[in-house]
Amino acid sequence: MRGATTRHHAQNPHSRYIGSVTAQIIDGTAIAASIRAEVAARAAALRERGRVPGLAAILVGDDPASISYVSSKAKACEEAGIFSETFHLPAGTDHDDVLRLVAGLNADDRFHAILPQIPMPPQVNEQAIVDAILPAKDADGLHPFNLGRLLRGETDGAMPCTPHGVQQLLMRTGNDPAGKHVVVIGRSMLVGRPLSVLLSNKGPAANATVTLCHTGTKDLAYHTRQADILIVAAGRPGTVTGDMVKPGAVVIDVGTNRIDDASRKRGWRLVGDVVYSEAREVASWITPVPGGVGPMTIAMLLVNTVAAAERGM
């Protein structure tokens, strides 16, 4: 649902930290490729039964990051054997016109999942658009109905893509959160809040004790140093420095931020919310940016699409 990045001019100042270990890199690109292969097999099985999984994307306006994300989604769908179509509307499209499009897609049997690409122009009420999608066709797992089911511990419906992707990264690297102290920085409805619920639920790949931190948390480092698993989704580069990481912790960096870099031809580079060069000398496992959590979001979008088609059989 989100493809945009935030832009900053410099990393926050940070203190020096010299650790004694070098973390193993969590290769999100490779893990996402494995999941996409699994999705392709499930899609092939559906096609043999006469059903082609379908995903509709709604793009309003010409935000470059959103266009890039939707293009990547379309390519991933094609590779997985999923039918996809992008409904690209002009930036000036009225809110009611977007609602009418959603209503039409809800009734269209070709599509088992609908993805409204955020951000949308200011005249469009993004939450109202999400709410108008049938819960059964919620590609991002962010409809209030599906979030409510997640809160009740029901994980057999659409799951929020990035939180589900983080959970898969942990499980597929042997870092089961059960019994661990997980600290999540960030309370957005896109990542932090649903992730804290997902990992603290009773069930497989969960059962963690979760502390949810945010901009109002006092002495953030006190909490982060207690984390067996530290997940950072603050949207701000330099939020976590090496001396804020417990030695041997697993560090998952959800952040994707553009910072100016005159040494690059394009004038900028991508960094996460964690000072990677410091944290990797302290952690046992760490995700890079790019190539960590990012590829998992599209992979889990494909999972949601195929799962919706399977539930409709």
Supply the pLDDT for residue 146.
97
219 confidence band (pLDDT: 50, 70, 90): very high
pLDDT at 20 over 80: no
Supply the pLDDT for residue 44.
98
5 confidence band (pLDDT: 50, 70, 90): very low
Triad 59, 64, 68: Cα angle to 5°: 75
pLDDT at 102 over 90: yes
Element (H, E) at 311: helix 294-311
Give the tens place of pLDDT for each residue, 233-275: 999 999 999 999 999 999 999 999 888 888 888 888 889 999 9
7 or 222, which is more confident: 222
Supply the pLDDT for residue 254.
97
- The answer for 179, left when phi > 0, alpha when psi is -120 to 50, beta otherwise, is left
- The residues assigned a catalytic role are 73, 117, 140
pLDDT at 13 over 80: no
2 confidence band (pLDDT: 50, 70, 90): low
Counting Cα atoms < 13 Å in the Cβ hemisphere of 211 gives 18
Give the tens place of pLDDT for each residue, 67-92: 888 999 999 999 999 999 999 999 99
223 confidence band (pLDDT: 50, 70, 90): very high
The answer to whether residues 127 and 140 touch, using CB atoms and an 8 Å cutoff, is: no
pLDDT at 15 over 70: no
- pLDDT, averaged across the chain: 93
Percent of the chain with pLDDT over 70: 93
pTM: 0.91
Q: What is the mean pLDDT of residues 288-299?
A: 96
pLDDT at 12 over 80: no
CATH of domain 6-26+173-293: 3.40.50.720
Give the tens place of pLDDT for each residue, 110-126: 999 999 999 999 999 99
Supply the pLDDT for residue 8.
46
Q: Where in the chain are all domains bearing CATH 3.40.50.10860?
A: 51-136
Residues 6+ apart with CB under 8 A from 19: 242, 247, 278, 281, 282
Q: 51-136, which class in CATH?
A: alpha beta
Supply the pLDDT for residue 266.
87
Q: Where in the chain are all domains bearing CATH 3.40.50.720?
A: 6-26+173-293
Percent of the chain with pLDDT over 90: 85
